[in-house]
Amino acid sequence: MKRRIGILTSGGDCPGLNAAIRGVARASYELFDAEFVGIADGYRGLIEGDWNELSYDDFSGILTLGGTILGTSRQPYRYMRVIGEDNVDKVAAMKENYKKMKLDCLITLGGNGTHKTANLLSQEGLNVIGLPKTIDNDIWDTEVTFGFHTAMDLATEVIDRIHTTANSHGRVMVIEIMGNKAGWLTLYSGVAGGADVVLLPEIPYDLDKVVSAVEKRARRKKRSFSIIAVAEGAMTKEESKMKGKERLARRQEEGYQSISYRLASQIEEKTGFETRVVVPGHFQRGGSPSAYDRVLATRFGVYAARLIKEGKYGVTVAMKGDRVVHNMLMDVAGKTKFVPKDNQMVKNAKDIGIAFGD
């Protein structure tokens, strides 16, 4: 039985997307009579009907390629049922284009927002399977997402390299790692890179305790330097009591580019230590996936192909232990996997002297 499969990548890009696309396609071609439709730029392409048929050769040579051959864009879930100035009913348009493409199912590769829209489409009657990608590693009920390990390697390399220049000048270096709501990437790269202070969105910090950690390190060494890994979404204890809009307004009034610049300024003012900021930014999203992510993305893709063969839809692929399994989209959509304050990695980090400012 032939199955016609639509595939899209949505949200922020990350290493491993092409490896997952390849995994789905290669396994599908082996398991059943398959044909693929590539949808451009995520849900935008599904809304606007921007798609192309793909051949077997289109999936060759992409295992090591970063980014996504399909293109991607952000289409916020909160606007999916909102009809804007273009007068387009987005949900109706996606359903109509699904039918026009004559799809038997749709594969969506993405993070939390992508999963929410995938669940919406599933509830609207479309056959949907999700694949969990994000460098934030914050998708509910999966131990790991593809893209996370590569980003962790890249962020760790940045921290590694900053050590030498920080030591040469005796500076405090504040390194801003991606992660607006969840701090998994900062936590793991901070530990791997030997950061002295790690600041996460889930553990609001006290500035005086951060300063104390820097000064304590300075007293211990003749030539002192400190490395602070801070998630872009980190906040003070005072800010944690504010609503998001209030917190944003406060920061805009302060005039700093990001929390890292504010923190660096405060540390330098309170300690007198020369302090600099490093923001690797989208460097963490780019380039070829690590060997781990190539394997993980491939395993996820193969599992998705088996789900298609078995006709299991309305689900998303996940990793539990060393087993690839699946969760219902309705159980995952709208939930975020945050770093628990009692997480074992946090405890391990504290046991080796890393400060969290709490």
Higher-pLDDT residue of 77 and 54 is 54
Say if residue 250 is in the same domain as residue 298. Answer: no
| Half-sphere CA count of 332, side-chain side, radius 13 A | 30
- Under the banding of pLDDT at 50, 70 and 90, the label for residue 253 is confident
CA neighbor of 46 nearest in space, from 79, 5, 90, 80: 90
Higher-pLDDT residue of 336 and 243 is 336
Do the domain assignments include residue 347? no
Mean pLDDT of 256-281: 93
Say if residue 160 is in the same domain as residue 270. Answer: yes
Say if residue 206 is in the same domain as residue 272. Answer: yes
Say if residue 61 is in the same domain as residue 131. Answer: yes
pLDDT tens for residues 323-335? 999 999 999 999 9
Do the domain assignments include residue 346? no
- Under the banding of pLDDT at 50, 70 and 90, the label for residue 247 is confident
Instruction: Identify the pLDDT of residue 120.
Output: 97
Say if residue 8 is in the same domain as residue 141. Answer: yes
Say if residue 33 is in the same domain as residue 128. Answer: yes
CATH of the domain at 262: 3.40.50.460
pLDDT tens for residues 150-200? 999 999 999 999 999 988 888 999 999 999 999 999 999 999 999 999 999
Say if residue 130 is in the same domain as residue 178. Answer: no
Say if residue 297 is in the same domain as residue 280. Answer: no
Mean pLDDT of 48-53: 96
Please identify which of the residues 41, 104, 136, 293 carries the catalytic annotation.
Answer: 136
Residue 218 confidence (pLDDT) above 90: no
The predicted model scores a pTM of: 0.94
CATH of the domain at 138: 3.40.50.450
Say if residue 196 is in the same domain as residue 81. Answer: no
Residue 223 confidence (pLDDT) above 70: no
Phi, psi of 325, rounded to the nearest 5 degrees? -135, -165
Catalytic residue at 136? yes
Say if residue 38 is in the same domain as residue 97. Answer: yes
CA distances from 47 to 43, 85, 275 (A): 6, 15, 47
- Under the banding of pLDDT at 50, 70 and 90, the label for residue 26 is very high
Do the domain assignments include residue 339? no
Do the domain assignments include residue 355? no
Instruction: Identify the pLDDT of residue 283.
Output: 87
As for how many domains the chain has, the answer is 2
Contact 75, 44 (CB under 8 A): yes
Do the domain assignments include residue 24? yes
Exposed/middle/buried for residue 43 (C-beta within 10 Å: 0-12, 13-18, 19+) = buried
Say if residue 27 is in the same domain as residue 88. Answer: yes
Name the least confident of 40-44, 68-72, 82-86: 82-86
Residue 222 confidence (pLDDT) above 70: no
State whether residue 142 is helix, strand or coil: coil
Amino acid at 203: I
Say if residue 191 is in the same domain as residue 96. Answer: no
Q: For a pLDDT cut of 90, what percent of the chain falls above it? A: 84
Residue 10 confidence (pLDDT) above 90: yes
Do the domain assignments include residue 108? yes
Residue 251 confidence (pLDDT) above 90: no
Residue 221 confidence (pLDDT) above 80: no
Taking residue 249's Cβ as centre, other Cβ atoms within 10 Å add up to 12
Mean pLDDT of 137-143: 97
- Under the banding of pLDDT at 50, 70 and 90, the label for residue 257 is confident
Do the domain assignments include residue 302? yes
Do the domain assignments include residue 353? no
- Please give the residue range of the domain that contains residue 295: 3-146+289-332
Laid out side by side, the sheet with 323-328 consists of 51-54, 34-39, 3-9, 105-110, 128-132, 315-320, 323-328
